[in-house]
A and B are shown apart, each in its own frame.
Chain A
């Protein structure tokens, strides 16, 4: 075991040194065929280093970070080594420096798009989807009538809906939140409806034999059983909401926001700033997903998929 760790660490050190050297080479001047040969060798070294570390518990957590860093390294070396124009693909280092230099602007964009449009839209969309699912659950007539309409709404193309929402709710974040509501409502509705059917007849009969009311059964039995489905909807919607808000900003906005920044800076050929904004969006999306996953774990600790890990 310790031998494998030793080899893994040795390879990693070798890899780091090689990458360091390659970055220095590529940034100082044009590179030739021998340089790319070294990169190929590094590729093999990286493969074995990560392979070794991945099989050792405790160190395997390092692998995703290493893999990500390795991809960034390849990106940097390829873009600079092959002299790819900045308007096609900027190097990660250029994106990083623009990111740091425009923190204030990125923050303002984040607040406009994420805090003002995505979060309220997500809360309203998921909330209404949940409530309508409860209504549908109580009434067969609504089940027949509302589900198909919800289905229809979810099928509306966002590029058709967004300009209409701008027309109705104006240019500011309200229209973006409205698009998010439309996009998130149906996944929530369907997931909650499916979740509410998860209990078996024997469990419901038991509640009935306790003389539990509809609401008591709902709260004590059916909603907890529906939780995995509800969280599924919430997680799907976390990513959908961000996409919806970003795309909606392409159809008219005040001059702030992540979607505005992306569409504007593409026109100005500031692709490094576009990538910096994309990085913010990716971070925000993954963090909210991770947060929801963590809450889900706490709420559905009883679920079989988590039980064995405890």
Chain B
């Protein structure tokens, strides 16, 4: 009797140990946009088994124009999200306590692209009276802040600029409906070139160069998740494997583009486009300085907050946030 019980006990413990070894920890990542090279590092980490190595089973959810990652994480649909800092800080002020745990993109890829024949050389003197295409959905703040720095009103008229809410294409520039449009180095700029306009016929103003760049793709989770040691450990492993994925993607852009295409359920992306995107993204990720990819430089954070607080009459955040970032997860991921 005793022996049978002991045997059964051994069998049960053995079973649970075995199943624990098989079933990796679940984690859900919500992307900011559709499946594309912008997120290559995560797809590479999944495809190459980097997540498995750290005992994680990561589900990658693509986003889209109608998906706001902060809403997804607030509703419990994700554990970690890719988001731009303006939107993340705005959500934080509105009651979703998002915390930056790793800053994947070191530089901003946003720029204003103008046709050279429009005669725009210097933003300060040449912008007044022009029509500029700007993305909204929380991405307008760097622009508004830039105009505020230059002292150009955005309500139109001869002294100000007329702002158009630009859709997700480059037609306004091609059709000359706008003198300049917003582009990302890794996406729309390439579309302008594909449309047959040569690089030498374009004038570009990078937000990075104008001192009004805000931090783009970073990884965010909630304060609640961070307070849970088990979750914090999972997140650290996730960041570690994701960084590895990004390093691999940057070193092998063509293979990374291939992996992205395999994961694109919509089939909307093309190979050449994705290869170019991964290469451009690699430039934005940079080396992360001496700390490596994913390290949030507090100075960049401060600059982003300053830009957001000075966004004209209707700033994206009304007060300086506290506790909106942590190095804890990043440091844990280094071990």
Chain A residues in the interface with B (C-beta under 8 A): 85-88, 163, 166-167, 170-171, 249-255, 260, 263-264, 266-271
Contacts and interface: CB of A to CB of B under 8 A. Distances in A.
Interface residues of B, number: 32
B95 A85 contact: yes
Interface in B149-172: 154, 162-167, 169, 171-172
Contacts of B163: 254-255
A267 B94 contact: no
B166 to A, nearest CB: 6
Contact of B167 (A86, A87, A252, A264): A252
Contacts of A86: 94-95
9 contacts: A87-B71, A166-B171, A252-B133, A252-B167, A263-B165, A267-B136, A268-B316, A269-B93, A271-B94
Interface in B62-78: 65, 68, 70-71, 74-75
Contacts of B175: 167
A267 B166 contact: no
Given A260-B136, A267-B137, A267-B138, A171 B164 contact: yes
Nearest to B178: A171
A264 B136 contact: yes
B167 A269 contact: no
A171 B167 CA distance: 10
A87 B172 contact: no
A76 B203 CA distance: 52
Contacts, number: 82
A167 B96 CA distance: 38
A1 B47 CA distance: 74
Given A252-B164, A252-B165, A269-B87, A87 B95 contact: yes
B96 A254 contact: no
Which of A250, A254, A263, A269: most chain B CB closer than 10 A? Answer: A269
A267 B139 contact: yes
A99 B9 CA distance: 65
A253 B164 contact: yes
Contacts of A251: 167
B165 A254 contact: yes
Given A85-B94, A163-B169, A264-B140, 20 more contacts: A85-B74, A87-B68, A87-B70, A87-B91, A87-B96, A88-B71, A167-B175, A249-B165, A250-B65, A252-B167, A253-B165, A260-B136, A260-B165, A264-B137, A267-B87, A268-B90, A269-B68, A269-B93, A269-B94, A270-B94
A170 to B, nearest CB: 6
Which of A171, A249, A260, A264: most chain B CB closer than 10 A? Answer: A171
Contacts of B252: none
A263 B136 CA distance: 8
A249 B165 CA distance: 9
A263 B67 CA distance: 11
A87 B90 CA distance: 10
B177 interface: yes
A268 B315 CA distance: 10
Interface of B: 65, 68, 70-71, 74-75, 87, 90-91, 93-96, 133, 136-140, 154, 162-167, 169, 171-172, 175, 177, 316
Contacts of B90: 268-269
Contacts of A254: 162-165
Given A171-B164, A269-B91, A85 B96 contact: yes
Contacts of B316: 268
A255 B136 CA distance: 9
A251 B172 CA distance: 11
Contacts of B91: 87, 269
A255 B154 CA distance: 10
Contacts of B70: 87, 269
Nearest to B87: A267
Contacts of B177: 170-171
A264 B164 CA distance: 12
A138 to B, nearest CB: 40
B33 to A, nearest CB: 13
Contacts of A249: 165
A162 B162 CA distance: 21
A253 B316 CA distance: 21
A250 B171 CA distance: 15
B75 to A, nearest CB: 6
A88 B133 CA distance: 29
Nearest to B66: A266
B175 to A, nearest CB: 6
A47 to B, nearest CB: 30
A268 B167 CA distance: 17
Nearest to A252: B167
Nearest to B140: A264
Given A166-B167, A254-B164, A255-B163, A87 B94 contact: yes
Contacts of B68: 87, 266-267, 269
A56 B198 CA distance: 76
Nearest to B175: A167
A264 B163 CA distance: 14
A86 B95 CA distance: 6
B96 A163 contact: no
B145 to A, nearest CB: 14
A266 B172 CA distance: 23
Contacts of A253: 164-165
A230 B132 CA distance: 43
A170 B75 CA distance: 38
A191 B188 CA distance: 44
Nearest to B166: A252
Contacts of B71: 87-88
